[in-house]
Amino acid sequence: MSRFGFASTADEVLEGKDLSGRTILVTGGYSGLGQETARALAAKGAHVILSGRDATKLSAAADEVATMTGARVDTLVCDLASLASIRAAGEEARERFAHIDVLINNAGVMAAPPGRTADGFETQFGTNHLGHFALTRELMPLIEKGSAQRIVNLSSRGHHLDRVDFYDPNYRNRDYDKWKAYGQSKTANVLFTRGLEDRFGGQGIHAYAVHPGGIQTNLGRHMSEQDRDWIADRMRKQAEESTEHSPQGWKTIPQGAATTVWAATAEELEARGGLYAEDCHVAAIDDANPVGGVRSYALDRGNADRLWALSEDLTGAKFPA
């Protein structure tokens, strides 16, 4: 059982660790959880690569993290809403970097209005899942050259909101619901984790899905005050309905980054993956708990295989057999 929990911070989780020689790429690394994750890892000696779509913001964030930690910080421009950008980023990464030991797929959008990526995918499914699916494929040659490799996919308790609609994942034939679309994308993040573990765990590349907790960052830039009130009310009602007495509510950004760095470094996770973590521990499979756990449909092998085939077909990103 992990000695960390709801209120633990990224620095507390990493206390005493030496990450010198480790190369860690963080998507969405120039703000919020991504930047705090990068800072905490760099402070322990990791070579961090920040990735995001805005070169100016990336450069500023890299300078800030490097100044704070004294670590080597590089940047990689990549727009997860564009397959062309992802392919270009992959090519650049393979030319510039020798290996990647840990990939943290942190970037995302939440409760976005109706929209399409450059390739016509629904914005949240396209960015949160398909973009990371394609980028992970591009970076796999570098990951295979790493050591004690891990892939951490930022999911959310939002996966409780909906499953993946394999017939219409891009909302072409059904009414758009921003919260169900978000839930679908977060379920896809967990299923992708299961798919990665099934395919690469035997090679020592292990995958983890993470629920960071409720944190007020720019992830919620599309949310109205009504949306924020709805989430707060939902969290309150869930806590009242729960039989558990674990802490609930908003986390700070340092607390939100804790489970990510725990999944990326925890010794107790060595040689095991395909897991969903929350509050710095492996969550139980639970189809009823309103305030915790991972839904069984999100770790189902059949669903994971089906999503994998769909994702390869939509993106053209074919992983090695």
Catalytic residue numbers, as ranges: 155, 182, 186
DSSP state of 299: S
- Exposed (0-12), middle (13-18) or buried (19+): which is 94, by Cβ within 10 Å? middle
Is the Cβ–Cβ distance between 78 and 124 less than 8 Å? no
Distance between CA atoms of 28 and 219, rounded to whole angstroms? Answer: 10
CA distance 243 to 246: 9
Contact criterion met (CB below 8 Å) for 137 and 105: no
281 to 105, 194, 239, 277, 293: CA distances (angstroms): 19, 17, 19, 5, 10
Q: How many CB atoms lie within 10 A of CB 118?
A: 12
Q: Report helix, strand or coil for 215.
A: strand
| Distance separating alpha carbons of residues 149 and 122, to the nearest angstrom | 31
- Residue 64 burial class via C-beta count within 10 angstroms: exposed 0-12, middle 13-18, buried 19 and up: middle
Rounded distance between C-alpha atoms, residue 156 and residue 68, angstroms: 29
Give Cβ neighbours of residue 277 (< 8 Å, ≥ 6 apart): 208, 209, 210, 211, 259, 262, 263, 283
Token digits for 55? Answer: 């070169």
* 3-class secondary-structure state, position 9: coil
